[in-house]
């Protein structure tokens, strides 16, 4: 494994060596924040760990957390581990049904309820018999509170250790299909991956490592690259975001030196910039020596990203044009590739090892290969133990020689750079009988400034087609005839350009502009903003015949 020190061993070291260093900064509303030093975090965690131990749960019991990112999420995780248990984090946007499913499937013994926006709708998913504890920023509940418990409980002494093969966490994947699967990670593999990630961050960032934690901690990307890496490093300052409305102020407060995001947000930032300055004008200014640099700096400062030394994108493919655009602004935006099953530790771009459209090279300790069918197969220090209560699935996911079958298709260049060409399961056949991989085509569509999201489909149809959600700035005006005319002209040109670049069986018959955006709330996106293809395709089914008969290049749904 290469590491004998586990996450908790690192945490105990920082408790003494970094006692007075601020570790977590939590906004509490109205522009106020609370700073927690390592000593304060550990005092709280030890008190909660003592309380959990006093409940008499069997060793390794699953303790769940349902909360948006906040300082107490991190404290609770440390407490759960110190008390000898396993963490199960549930996405803060999940429905009552999914909350109920995860709590039941994991056989959770207790639930921490934290910062949430839709608690009244989620509460019915929590069994009345399940003990619950409310974080300080939780909605109004009748549960015992974190503050009351820690005030009356003495801290757990010593340095309770965990075994390398103890389960640290169960990660329920948000899954774009079916019910969530519980991915099991033990301390040995999670610690090895986190150590690798901390090394990657330190190699890219000089001086202070400041990060803003806002992507869900219930997702592996944030849990590995922000929280776990900070547990290893000890000198990372994590700032939390208060809400979507305060996001820019939260960013300005944190002045992050490392910032990771998902393609949808990188796109939103760009569209926010374009709403203030048309792309053509910005492009012209960026091309002027000296002035271009001043303008680029101003744009990054406006986004709160002017201190960023390492910017990362993961979780879904990002249009190569978008990476190039940020590079013109002077932001070193690097794409990475990882999954729940390898603790988000497999491939990442670094300076000198990156190219738009590629997700970088294998991280230290990672082996990768492409199977004869074109599937990416990986052996990572962060590999999963298996799927909880699904031994047949666990056996299926590994090759005979221990490589994880990712289900993603790709190509590895001679210099080690990996390009992902799509997902095996997402490929579909039109009536022409050849497989179409939607991801590369969607990537080209998503690069258009008028587009927020797109999906390419057409199973069994005469040709493939695309559905598109207009950018946020344009949506309120989508019924105006003048705008419609402009959109039709732009998308008509886009369709011609695309069709000239792809194989004849991949050509799109039309682009359909949908009237309602796809969201987590309407079930079209997963909690990590991945597209739920099957649901969107099902919603489009009744109109399909009319669309194909219409013969127009651009249609309005």
CATH assignment at residue 552: 3.30.300.30
pLDDT, average across residues 91-101 = 94
CA distance 267 to 452: 7
Q: In the prediction, which pLDDT does 174 show?
A: 65
Report phi then psi at 318, rounded to 5: -115, 135
Angle in degrees, CA 202, 206, 16, rounded to 5: 65
Decide: pTM greater than 0.75: yes
One domain for residues 499 and 390: no
Residue 290 included in any domain = no
Judge whether 163 and 310 are in contact, CB under 8 Å.
no
Q: Which helix (H) or strand (E) holds 292?
A: helix 291-303
Domain that holds residue 371: 258-273+308-422
One domain for residues 169 and 53: yes
Q: In the prediction, which pLDDT does 178 show?
A: 66
Judge whether 266 and 318 are in contact, CB under 8 Å.
yes
Which two structure tokens, joined as six digits, stand for 257?
């030196």
One domain for residues 23 and 143: yes
CA distance 45 to 52: 10
Q: In the prediction, which pLDDT does 429 show?
A: 87
One domain for residues 366 and 458: no
| Number of C-beta neighbours around residue 43 at 10 A | 16
Residue 299 included in any domain = no
One domain for residues 409 and 446: no
Report phi then psi at 305, rounded to 5: -115, 15
How far out from the chain centre does Cα 393 lie? 24
CA distance 156 to 46: 5
Domain end point (choices 396, 422, 448): 422
Residue 294 included in any domain = no
Min mean pLDDT across 160-174, 287-301, 424-438, 500-514 is at 424-438
One domain for residues 485 and 411: no
Domain end point (choices 422, 452, 485): 422
Residue 2 included in any domain = no
One domain for residues 220 and 134: yes
One domain for residues 381 and 444: no
Give tens-digit pLDDT for 313-348.
988 788 888 999 999 999 989 999 999 999 999 999
Q: What is the radius of gyration, based on Cα positions, of the chain?
A: 24
CATH number of the domain that 168 lies in? 3.40.50.980
One domain for residues 416 and 480: no
Give tens-digit pLDDT for 386-435.
999 999 999 999 999 999 999 999 999 999 999 998 888 888 888 888 88
CA distance 233 to 224: 12
Residue 475: which of 228, 271, 259 has the closest Cα? 271
CA distance 55 to 49: 10
One domain for residues 411 and 464: no
3-state secondary structure of 93: coil
Which two structure tokens, joined as six digits, stand for 478?
């989508």
Domain end point (choices 422, 441, 459): 422
Q: In the prediction, which pLDDT does 1 show?
A: 43
Residue 280 included in any domain = no
The CA-atom distances, in angstroms, between 422 and each of 152, 250, 466 are 54, 35, 16
pLDDT band, residue 308 (cuts 50/70/90): very high
CATH number of the domain that 266 lies in? 3.40.50.12780
CA distance 189 to 183: 13
Beta strands in 248-370 (DSSP E): 258-261, 310-313, 333-337, 347-348, 361-362, 367-370
pLDDT, average across residues 427-450 = 88
Q: In the predicted model, what is the mean pLDDT of the chain?
A: 94
- The answer to whether residue 511 scores a pLDDT higher than 80 is yes
Judge whether 169 and 76 are in contact, CB under 8 Å.
no
Does residue 115 come out as left (phi exceeding 0), alpha (psi in the -120 to 50 range) or beta? Answer: beta
Give tens-digit pLDDT for 108-123.
999 999 999 999 999 9
CA distance 523 to 473: 22
**Which letter does DSSP use for residue 225 in this model?**
I
Residue 470 included in any domain = yes
One domain for residues 31 and 164: yes
Residue 126 included in any domain = yes
- Show contacts of 134-137: CB within 8 Å, 24+ apart: 135/67, 135/70, 135/72, 135/73, 135/76, 136/72, 137/26, 137/28, 137/70, 137/72
Select, from the ranges 446-450, 508-512, 533-537, the one with the highest average predicted confidence (pLDDT): 508-512
Residue 439 included in any domain = yes
CA distance 379 to 484: 49
- The answer to whether residue 2 scores a pLDDT higher than 50 is no
Structural domain total, the chain: 3
| Number of C-beta neighbours around residue 214 at 10 A | 24
**How many Cα atoms sit within 13 Å of 321 on the Cβ side?**
11
Residue 222: which of 20, 6, 407, 74 has the closest Cα? 74
Sign of the four-CA dihedral 73, 74, 78, 81: positive
Report phi then psi at 22, rounded to 5: -70, 125
How far out from the chain centre does Cα 73 lie? 17
One domain for residues 169 and 66: yes
């Amino acid at each position: 494994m290469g590491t004998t020190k586990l996450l908790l061993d690192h945490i105990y070291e920082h408790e003494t060596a970094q006692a007075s260093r601020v570790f977590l900064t939590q906004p509490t509303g109205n522009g106020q924040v609370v700073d927690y030093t390592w000593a304060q975090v550990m005092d709280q965690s030890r008190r909660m760990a003592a309380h959990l131990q006093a409940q008499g749960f069997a060793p390794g019991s699953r303790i769940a957390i349902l909360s948006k990112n906040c300082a107490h999420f991190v404290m609770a995780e440390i407490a759960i581990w110190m008390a000898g248990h396993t963490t199960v984090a549930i996405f803060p946007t999940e429905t009552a049904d999914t909350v109920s499913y995860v709590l039941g499937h994991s056989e959770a013994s207790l639930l921490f309820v934290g910062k949430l926006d839709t608690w009244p709708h989620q509460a019915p998913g929590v069994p009345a018999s399940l003990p619950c504890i409310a974080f300080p920023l939780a909605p109004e509940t009748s549960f015992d509170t974190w503050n009351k418990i820690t005030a009356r409980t003495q801290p757990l002494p010593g340095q309770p250790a965990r075994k390398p093969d103890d389960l640290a966490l169960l990660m329920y994947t948000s899954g774009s299909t079916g019910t969530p699967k519980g991915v099991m990670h033990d301390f040995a593999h999670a610690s090895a991956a986190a150590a690798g990630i901390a090394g990657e961050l330190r190699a890219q960032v000089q001086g202070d490592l400041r990060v803003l934690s806002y992507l869900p901690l219930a997702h592996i990307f944030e849990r590995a690259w922000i929280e776990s890496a900070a547990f290893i490093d000890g000198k990372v300052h994590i700032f939390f975001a208060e809400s979507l409305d305060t996001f820019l102020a939260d960013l300005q407060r944190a002045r992050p030196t490392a910032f990771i995001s998902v393609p949808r947000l990188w796109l939103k930032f760009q569209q926010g910039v374009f709403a203030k300055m048309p792309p053509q004008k910005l492009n012209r200014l960026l091309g002027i020596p000296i002035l271009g640099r001043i303008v680029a700096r101003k744009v990054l400062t406006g986004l709160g990203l002017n201190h960023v030394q390492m910017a990362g994108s993961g979780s879904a493919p990002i249009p190569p044009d978008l990476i190039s655009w940020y590079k013109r602004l002077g932001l070193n935006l690097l794409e990475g590739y990882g999954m729940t099953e390898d603790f988000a530790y497999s491939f990442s771009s670094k300076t000198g090892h990156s190219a738009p459209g590629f997700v970088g090279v294998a991280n230290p300790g990672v082996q990768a290969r492409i199977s004869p069918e074109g599937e990416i197969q990986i052996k990572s220090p962060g590999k999963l133990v298996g799927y909880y209560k699904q031994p047949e699935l666990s056996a299926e996911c590994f090759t005979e020689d221990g490589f994880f079958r990712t289900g993603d298709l790709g190509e590895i260049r001679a210099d080690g750079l990996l390009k992902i060409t799509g997902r095996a399961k997402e490929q579909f056949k039109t009536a022409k009988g050849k497989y179409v991989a939607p991801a590369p085509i969607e990537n080209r569509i998503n690069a258009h400034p008028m587009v927020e999201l797109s999906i390419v489909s057409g199973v069994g149809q005469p040709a493939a087609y695309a559905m598109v959600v207009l950018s946020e700035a344009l949506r309120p005006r989508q019924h105006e005839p003048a705008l419609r005319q402009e959109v039709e002209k732009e998308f008509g040109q886009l369709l011609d350009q695309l069709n000239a670049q792809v194989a004849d069986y991949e050509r799109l018959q039309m682009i359909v502009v949908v009237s309602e955006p796809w969201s987590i709330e309407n079930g079209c996106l997963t909690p990590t903003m991945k597209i739920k293809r099957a649901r969107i395709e099902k919603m489009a089914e009744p109109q399909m015949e009319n669309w194909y008969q219409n013969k127009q290049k651009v249609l309005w749904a």
